[in-house]
Amino acid sequence: MLNVTVWNENRHEKHNPKVSQIYPNGIHGTIAKFLAEDGHKVNTATLDEVDHGLSNKVLENTEVLLWWGHLAHGEVKDEIVEKVKQRVLDGMGLIVLHSAHFSKIFKTLMGTTCDLKWREADDLERLWVIDPSHPIVEGIGEYIELEKEEMYGEHFDIPAPDELVFTSWFEGGEVFRSGCTYQRGRGKIFYFRPGHETYATYHNKEIQTVIKNAVKWASPTKFAKPAYGNAKALEEIKAKETV
């Protein structure tokens, strides 16, 4: 059982009936539901709440944070991003979903533009498992097929992932590193590509399995913050004459 917070921009849901039909309780609502069913204590938070729903107390209590954003990355306050970053470096897991590749939090943790190719054209997407030993792929098959999705294509401007878990094939001719892990400070990060708002992707059972696995994988390691700064010698240092 982990304390999980699902963050969602929650704007498409308000203005696009197609989206609110697929996700009547918001993308965050759907994700929160299947994570709660997996035994976690799940909280949701959205852009338009005070501090985007991410008060110090909420962040301190969150062990794994999921992030979905698209239209309004620029509206996320820098001081909140900074706090989330600090929490990740201090051990909170972070699951970055789909268009959150362009979120401030992902870009500042990656140090690159996180840019990519994209197309909204009902491409078939097939996510191939690249690392069959990884706990994130437990319980799924060799690939996940999504009949229609937005296309994201290489080059994806990210640091080489620590572990490449999935690579997507798209009907229109592109490939994409669609499941990537990163370690930053004491925190673990998983980027997972699928989840365009106009498709029912987060209702897909295999996609849900991957996200459930990722939450467990990203849970914080109990390890005290290392000591940084000026350090006393642990061994004697011999006095030396300058040559």
Cα separation, 125 vs 192, whole angstroms = 13
Residue number, 1 or 233, with CB nearest to its own copies = 233
Cα separation, 214 vs 136, whole angstroms = 5
Residue number, 37 or 157, with CB nearest to its own copies = 157
Cα–Cα separations (whole angstroms), residue 214 to 31, 35, 117, 189, 207: 13, 11, 25, 9, 11
Region label for 23, one of left (φ > 0), alpha (ψ between -120 and 50) or beta (otherwise): beta
* Shortest distance in whole angstroms from residue 163 CB to its own copies: 7
- Residues with Cβ within 8 Å of 239's Cβ and at least 6 positions away in sequence, in order, are none
Nearest to 116 by CA among 108, 124, 107, 129: 107
Residue number, 18 or 41, with CB nearest to its own copies = 18
Cα separation, 3 vs 40, whole angstroms = 6
Q: Cβ–Cβ contacts within 10 Å for residue 108, how many?
A: 15
* Shortest distance in whole angstroms from residue 47 CB to its own copies: 23
The answer to whether the CB of 87 falls within 8 A of the CB of 94 is no
* Shortest distance in whole angstroms from residue 86 CB to its own copies: 9
Residue number, 28 or 73, with CB nearest to its own copies = 73
Residue number, 32 or 144, with CB nearest to its own copies = 144
* Shortest distance in whole angstroms from residue 71 CB to its own copies: 16
